[in-house]
Amino acid sequence: MYKPTEAFAQELDANDPFNQYKQEFYISEDHIYLDGNSLGLMSKRAEESLQQVMDTWKEEAIGGWMNSEHPWFYLSESLGERVAPLVGGKPEEVVVTGSTTTNLHQLVSTFYQPEGNRTKILADELNFPSDIYALQSQLNLHGYDPDEHLIQVGSRDGRTIDENDIIQAMTEDVALIVLPTVLYRSGQLLNIRKLTEAAHERGILIGFDGCHSVGAIPHNFHEDGVDFAYWCHYKYVNSGPGGVAGLFIHENHFDRTPGLTGWFGSDKDKQFDMEHTFTKAQDAGAFQIGTPHVFSAAPLIGSLALFEEVGIDAVREKSLQATAYFMYLVEHELSDFGFTIGNPREATRRGGHICLEHDAAASICKALKERDITPDFRAPNVIRLAPVAFYVSYHDIYRAVQILKDIMTNETYKQYQNERDVIA
C-alpha cells in the first residue's frame, strides 16, 4: 500500500484534502511539529477570534457580556454546542468550562456517592497522574484511604490495558469508574461502549477523560450512554495553552445537583436575582462553577470553525492514514536502530499519535529538536509523535523519519544527556 519514497509522500499530499489547511497555522516552512498531542499550534482563526474578544473589551467594556458577536454571558454554553459534535453529545449535554482537573473534581464530587459496600473508585495504573491525584483527593475528602479504596487496573505489558481486566475489576464494592479514552503514553483507544455497558450492567456509574482523543477521534458519548466525560481543548483542538476545558453530562443526569456549585451554574434567567438559593441550569451548564475565562475561551471560537468545515470523521480518517504511514516508514527505515512501536496497530484501538520506545528516547528527542522537529518525550523511554491532520503533511512525516534515521546512523543523539528537561 505504501512506498518508502519521497515521491510517494508528495503524491499522498497532492490527494490530501487537508493540505490546504497547513497555511492556516503559524509554523515555519521547515519546521516539523509533531507535538500537537500536548499543545496544538496557533491558527490564524484562533488569533482572530481572540483579537475580536479583546476589541470587544476595549470598545464595549462591561457591555461585552451581552453586546458582542459572541456574548460572554452565554459563551460557555454556545461553545459547548459547537464542541458537542466532536464528542457525540447533544448540544445541551456539553459545556466549555474550567480546566481538566477542576472539572474532574466537579464530576467526582457529583457522581461519587459511596453507600454501604460501594465505596471504591476504579481507575487504571497507566492513567495521567493528575487524574489519579484528583481521585485520591476525593477519597480523602470522604474519609477513605486511597491505598484501599482506589483500584488501579494493571497493565499486562506496561503499555496497554485489557478491557476484560477492567471489566473483571468491576466488583460489587465499586461506586464509580474513571478511565481515559486514550492512554497518554501508548495511544491505546479503549472500547468506550463496551466498558460503559459492562459498568451499567453492574450498577456502576462511569466517566471518561478525553484529553488525548477529543479533536482527533470522533466519540459517541450520548449514544454510548457515558455518564460523564471531561477533556481539554489545547491539544488536538488547538485552543491555546491553558485553554478552557470541556465536560459532558448525559441528559439522564440533568436532575443531579452538582457537587460543587457556583453562580455560573445558575439558571440564566435567575442568575442575577442574587438570591442565596441556588436555582441550577437544567442542562450541562449547571456544572459551571465560576465566571467564564473569556480570553482563554476566545481562541476556541476560531479553532472550532476549522472542525466545522471538515468534520471530525474526516480528521480521524486522515489521522489513521498518517499514523499508519508513519509506522510503515519507521519499520522500513529504522528497523536496525532498536526502536519498538508501542502503540496498538489496529485502527480501532489506535489514538492520534504513535509511540516509539527506545532506551535513549530523551537524547533522541533533544537531537530531533536541534534538527527543527518537535517531538514529545514521556518517561522512561517513550517518544510520542502526533501527525495532526490539519498541519502535518505526509512529506513532513517522510522528512521526520529520514532525519531520525540520520540521527541514529551518525549517533548524534549521544552528545545529549539521556534525561528529560524541566518540561518534557
Q: What is the pLDDT of residues 126-185, one digit of tens each?
A: 999 999 999 999 999 999 999 999 999 999 999 999 999 999 999 999 999 999 999 999
* Nearest CA-CA partner of 92 in 106, 103, 77, 104: 77
Instruction: State the pLDDT confidence band at 419, using cuts at 50, 70 and 90.
Output: confident
Lateral strand order in the sheet of 150-153 = 94-96, 246-249, 228-231, 205-209, 174-180, 120-124, 150-153
Phi-psi region of 65 (alpha: psi -120 to 50; beta: other; left: phi over 0): alpha
* Nearest CA-CA partner of 381 in 410, 407, 418, 349: 418
pLDDT at residue 420, as a whole number: 81
CB of 35 closer than 8 Å to CB of 374 = yes
**131 annotated binding-site participant:** yes
Tracing cell 450512554 back to the chain, one arrives at 225
pLDDT at residue 44, as a whole number: 98
User: How confident is the model over 105-126, as a mean pLDDT?
Assistant: 98
Dihedral sign (CA 190, 194, 197, 198): negative
> Which CATH class, in words, describes the domain spanning 6-30+311-415?
alpha beta
Q: Any idea what the Cα angle at residue 83 is, between residues 183 and 293, rounded to 5°? A: 95
Q: What angle separates helix 394-409 from helix 312-333, to the nearest 10 degrees? A: 30
**128 annotated binding-site participant:** yes
Other C-beta atoms lying within 10 Å of the C-beta of residue 378: 18
pLDDT at residue 25, as a whole number: 98
pLDDT at residue 213, as a whole number: 98
Spans of all domains in the chain: 6-30+311-415, 48-309
pLDDT at 1 over 90: no
291-308 pLDDT per residue, tens: 999 999 999 999 999 999
**228 annotated binding-site participant:** no
**129 annotated binding-site participant:** yes
322-354 pLDDT per residue, tens: 999 999 999 999 999 999 999 999 999 999 999
pLDDT at residue 207, as a whole number: 98
**291 annotated binding-site participant:** yes
Dihedral sign (CA 49, 50, 51, 57): positive
pTM above 0.85, yes or no: yes
Measure the CA–CA gap between 389 and 19, rounded to whole angstroms: 9
**76 annotated binding-site participant:** no
pLDDT at 422 over 80: no
Report CA dihedral (28, 49, 87, 356) to the nearest 10 degrees.
20
Fold of the domain built from segment(s) 48-309: Aspartate Aminotransferase; domain 2 (3.40.640)
Kindly report the three-state secondary structure assignment for every residue of the chain. Answer: CCCCCHHHHHHHHHCCHHHHHHHHECCCCCCEECECCCCCCCEHHHHHHHHHHHHHHHHHHHHHHCCCCCCHHHHHHHHHHHHHHHHCCCHHHEEECCCHHHHHHHHHHHHCCCECCECEEEEECCCCHHHHHHHHHHHHHCCCCHHHHEEEECCCCCCCCCHHHHHHCCCCCEEEEEEECECCCCCEECCHHHHHHHHHHCCCEEEEECCCCCCCCCCCHHHHCCCEEEECCCCCCCCCCCCCCEEEECHHHCCCCCCCCCHHHECCCCHHHCCCCCCECCCHHHHCCCCCCHHHHHHHHHHHHHHHHHCHHHHHHHHHHHHHHHHHHHHHHCCCCCCEECCCCCHHHECCCEEEECCCHHHHHHHHHHCCEECEEECCCEEEEECCCCCCCHHHHHHHHHHHHHHHHCCHHHHCCCCCCCCC
Measure the CA–CA gap between 266 and 276, rounded to whole angstroms: 11
Here the cell at position 72 is 460572554
pLDDT at 394 over 80: yes
Averaged confidence pLDDT in the chain = 97
**57 annotated binding-site participant:** no
Measure the CA–CA gap between 191 and 369, rounded to whole angstroms: 35
Measure the CA–CA gap between 226 and 205, rounded to whole angstroms: 8
